[in-house]
Structure 1
Amino acid sequence: MTTRWRSAAVAAAAAGLVVVPVGVGAGHARYPHAPPAVAAAPAATPAATPSPAPAADEFPKLTPAVAARLDAAVLKVLREAKVPGVVVALSAPGKGEYVRAFGVADKATGAPMTPGLNMRIGSETKTFTVTALLRLVDQGEVGLDDPVGRYVAGVPNGDRITLRELAGMRSGLFNYSEDEGFFKALTSNPRRNFTPRELLAYSFRHPVNFAPDAKFEYSNTNLILLGLVVEKVSGKKLADYIDQQVVKPARLTHTLFPTGAEFPSPHAHGYTDQTANGKTEDATDWNPSWGWAAGAMISDLPDLRSWAKTLATGTLLTPATQAERLKVSPAGDLPDTGYGLGIFNVEGWIGHNGSLPGYQSLTVYLPQSKATLVVLLNTDTASDGAEPSALFGEAITRVVTPQHLFRLPPQPVTGH
């Protein structure tokens, strides 16, 4: 589920392929921004004696042979989905790690994708916003079953919709990013700044879709409201509160909530067909304010690898509050998928994905193996109706955890 506002029509053309093999084996605390040796194709892996097959529910050792299978799976998606560049990190304690960068970070110059680049992470922002809210819950400042109308005026059904229902995507409020007027406003000037109240206005011009808690329906409107609740209760700007109460305690050093279109270097260029004319454009410097608490944040691979475990295990929360977060309800008609409080559980993989013009991401954690998977790519253009991040997630997990496949259909949207 994403901050993407409409389905894609035409896949972006992929630039020439380069591969940065960063590591299979020992871990790296933080990846250098300068790429290691770059090849035109992945180096051939020498034939190896097959290892004994792991137990049915066991995460495999990330041997060179397994790495070669992962290379092939990732490259297949990259080529077929016409993704310019992707970075993948997969690891589990005692199993080694697989870190790779494929393709290009800039189609104009051919600069390679590398693991040290900053990336826009779209709806993974929701995990930070909801964590900020849950920190306030632990401090006794708010209750999950408080009505949102206690904190934000003018919300349809605001006296009935709870903070829990907002975080769990069960409010019934119309998703502002599906509004026709919003789509026109954004694509006519993608560098404009949107305020949270402007975003809510696009939603509130529509009737509610259903009664509170009647069903699951993914809506960015919910997170805009939660962002306003955090600001109201904390007395701080959302970006500042998330930095002080989530990012810093989690010891993340390259994760930020931008106040405008700023994008720290080095970063990958992002490519989207979410444009007024449907043609692919470079969206690198588009203003993510339209996503705000639902999708504006920036991070990098090492930070997200750390955040995956922090989020899934509840390091920043009390055990009771984390347990509330992880109580999932069926996520609509998505098979074997549940949604908790700002978090997915897809076949046992816990975390979130993200998408906004030019970028997609996936950060998930498999508790029984303590395995972490992070995927970052520089396009949000769909491939035959599927989101590329989900295609990578499924291809990678099919190799290492076929009993826990990450399969997540795209969010249905209509704002075009």
Structure 2
Amino acid sequence: MPEWLPEAVRYAEQWLGYQMRSTEQPGCVLAVAHRGKLVAEHAFGVADLATGTPLTPAHRFRVASHSKTFASAAIMRLHEAGRLHLDDPIGTHVGDLAPEVAAVTISQLLSHTAGLLRDGVRAVHWQDRQPFLDETALRAELAEPLIVPANSRQKYSNVGFGLVGLAIEAITGEDFGTWIAREIVVPSGLDATTPDMPVPAGTPLATGHSGKLPVGRRFAIPGHNPTHALASATGFVSTAGDLARFIGSLDPEAGTSVLSAASRREMTRRHWRVPDDSGGRHYGLGTIGGTLEGHEWFGHSGAFQGFISRTACVPEWGVAVSIVTNCIDGLANPWVEGVLGIFHHFALHGAASPTVADWTGRWWSYWGAFDLVPMGNQVFVTMPALMQPFTDASVLDITSPTEGRVARANGFGAHGEPARRIMDADGAATLLMLGGAELLPEQALLTELEARASDPAPATQP
């Protein structure tokens, strides 16, 4: 394991704690895996706003389009067994399809280049106005003409991945959920993952929630509805820990996987650029890929009524990060990228040396919170309110246990000015000075603000 990873995880947890307080999200779970082993699982907030039940890493979430990664792994497993080929027309395995749909290939379905409808002619199942599509309803959507020619561009399709599920059932002669649980989920060691609802009695489930608008408050969207013929597109129920370990196992360099290295390379390589996408992302076979701070990643995201999730693996580090949230405006996507940004800085600068390791903590002023984050031989001053907390971070050179200097700051900061800690008799820091700015521990600032509120007269010049 990289020597910097434990300290990076600790700061990521502290940063997420601030983000949860600031954004007032119901709950989230962060999981980090390295080479298939969990390094951390940390739950924040509640599983259900109505009951106030504390969220735990064991709570299961609807993880939606992560299902596509599982379904793609199932196809690759069948490919390895010689039961299909990726360039097979889907009509080779699934009957009674319109000719142009029957002609699209399995690879085109997995890469979202088959040209099919995204969700259907009338996709009200995504707003709980009708059940998710069963096979009859799915086949009715598949009877619609292609929207764009196959193999002409990447165009996301839940309907297409429903067809992948029909193919798996046709080839194996078994129900999709039964076969994939036995052949992919269980061999991957995923004890908290099921292909769809319902889950076994007594399983801890997080409740989904709406955003605050337009009602003005969050309300429950339980998310317990089965997805029927769309289970291969969006049905899976899992935990952040299982997702981190499973996505990590698809790294071509992973030591243990249900797939060969060749299959993993094929799944995770960049098949198609996602058009009109500001993030510069690409799609593989059931995986999304991109680059952050120069590091290539792959994984997937998921959006279900009341739930948002995201998992990303960085093969360079052998690290996978997953965040699951239980509200429809959950920030799993920017939070995973924020965690990867934190990891980038720790990988670049290394774990803190003993001379700076205790220059740490969260410090407050009227203007918000600042974190001291020691790395290598320096201390970085980050802003936990930012989605990338190291953005424009000042850097301190430390010259003694209580003294230092702002060695680098942007042109609006205190570049070149002194940094100082005031310590109490027990050796605890009670005041941080960065140039002329004074920052306090949270409780000390709260005491000051409460006193100010009871006596709002302006301070006099000392």
Query: TM-score normalized by structure 1?
Result: 0.72
Change beyond 3 A, Cα 1:126–1:184: closer
TM-superposed CA distance for 1:174, in Å, is: 0.9
Pairwise CA distance, 1:68: 5.6
1:125: which partner in 2?
Answer: 67
**How far apart in 2 are the matches of 1:374 and 1:230?**
27
* 1:278 CA displacement: 11
| Offset at residue 311 of structure 1 (A) | 2.4
Alignment of 1:249-264 (within 5 A): 249-258=187-196, 260=198
Match 1:321 to one of 260, 263, 273: 263
Q: Which structure carries more relative contact order (alpha carbon 8 Å, separation 6+)? A: 1
Q: Tell me, yes or no, if structure 1 residue 62 matches structure 2 residue 6.
A: yes
Alignment partner, residue 342 of structure 1: 286
SS at match of 2:165: helix
With over 3 angstroms needed to count, the CA separation of the structure-2 counterparts of 1:360 and 1:184, relative to structure 1, is closer
Deviation at 1:212, TM superposition (A): 0.8
1:367 aligns with 2:315: yes
Q: What one-letter code is carried by the residue in structure 2 that aligns with 1:182?
A: A
**Could you tell me whether the CA contact under 8 Å between 1:90 and 1:99 is conserved in 2?**
yes
Shift of residue 70, structure 1, vs aligned partner? 1.9
Contact 2:47 2:326 in 1 (8 A): yes
Matched-pair contact (CA < 8 Å) for 1:134–1:321: yes
Q: Pick closer, same or farther for the CA change 1:126–1:276 going to 2, 3 Å.
A: farther
2:185 maps to 247
Q: Would you say the 8 A contact 2:210–2:221 is kept in 1?
A: yes
The offset of 1:374, in angstroms, is: 1.2
| Contact 2:32–2:241 (CA under 8 A) maintained in structure 1 | no
How far apart in 2 are the matches of 1:286 and 1:324?
A: 33
Separation in 2 of the partners of 1:360 and 1:349?
19
1:86–1:163: structure 2 CA closer, same or farther, 3 Å change rule? same
Corresponding residue number in structure 1 for 2:26: 84
Cα deviation digits, residues 109-142 of structure 1 (max 9, x gap): 2111111112211111111111111111111111
- The one-letter code sitting in structure 2 at the alignment partner of 1:113 is L
SS in 1 for 2:48: coil
Matched, 1:199 2:147: no
How many angstroms apart in 1 are the aligned matches of 2:161 and 2:216?
27
Identity %: 25
1:243 positional shift: 0.9
Deviation at 1:327, TM superposition (A): 2.8
Instruction: Report the RMSD for the aligned CA atoms in angstroms.
Output: 3.3
- 1:261: Cα distance to partner? 7.5
- Name the CA shift for 1:350/1:76 in 2 (closer, same or farther; >3 Å): same
- The answer (yes or no) to whether the contact 1:261–1:288 under 8 Å persists in 2 is no
Q: CA deviation at 1:78?
A: 3.0
Find the residue that maps to 1:158 and give its secondary structure: helix
Assess, with a 3 A threshold, how the Cα gap between structure 1 residues 90 and 172 changes in structure 2: closer, same or farther. Answer: same
CA contact (8 A) 2:223 2:305 kept: no
Residue 214 of structure 1 aligns with which residue?
152
Verify the 8 A CA contact 1:101 1:115 in the aligned structure 2.
Answer: yes
- What pairs with 1:144-183 in structure 2 (closer than 5 Å)? 144-152=86-94, 153-155=96-98, 157-176=100-119, 179=121, 181-183=122-124
In 1, the alpha carbon distance for the partners of 2:283 and 2:17 equals 30
Deviation at 1:251, TM superposition (A): 1.8
Cα distance in 2, alignment partners of residues 105 and 323 from structure 1: 36
Aligned mates of 1:139, 1:169 — CA distance in 2: 23
Deviation at 1:149, TM superposition (A): 1.8
- Asked if the contact 1:288–1:295 (Cα under 8 Å) also holds between the matched residues in 2, the reply is no
* Counterpart contact for 2:197–2:224, Cα < 8 Å: no
CA distance in 2, matches of 1:193, 1:155: 22
Map of 1:310 onto structure 2? 249
Q: Which residue of the other structure, out of 290, 294, 301, is the alignment partner of 2:240?
A: 301
- Indicate the SS of the match to 1:372: strand
1:274, 1:357 within 8 Å by CA — same for their partners in 2? no
- Report SS of the residue matched to 2:55: coil
Q: Cα gap change, 1:75/1:261 in structure 2, threshold over 3 Å: closer, same or farther?
A: same
Paired residue for 1:284, among 212, 218, 222?
222
Structure 2 counterparts to residues 257-272 of structure 1, below 5 A: 257-258=195-196, 260=198, 265-272=203-210
Q: Give how far 1:395 is off.
A: 1.8
Q: Which protein has the larger Cα radius of gyration, Structure 1 or Structure 2?
A: 2
User: What is the Cα deviation at residue 393 of structure 1?
Assistant: 1.3
Q: Tell me the CA shift for residue 358 of structure 1.
A: 1.4
User: Structure 2 residue aligned with 1:115, among 40, 54, 57?
Assistant: 57
Query: 1:97: how far off?
Result: 3.6
Alpha-carbon distance, 1:198 to partner: 0.9
Q: Secondary structure at the match of 1:221?
A: helix
What displacement does 1:148 show?
1.2
- State the Cα deviation string for residues 319-359 of structure 1 (Å, max 9, x = none): 33323222312122333322110011121122111110111
Corresponding residue of 1:106: 48
How many angstroms apart in 1 are the aligned matches of 2:38 and 2:175?
Answer: 40
Aligned to 1:223: 161
Whichever structure has more strand as a proportion of its residues is 2
Change in 2 beyond 3 A, CA 1:237/1:145: same
| 2:339 match | 396
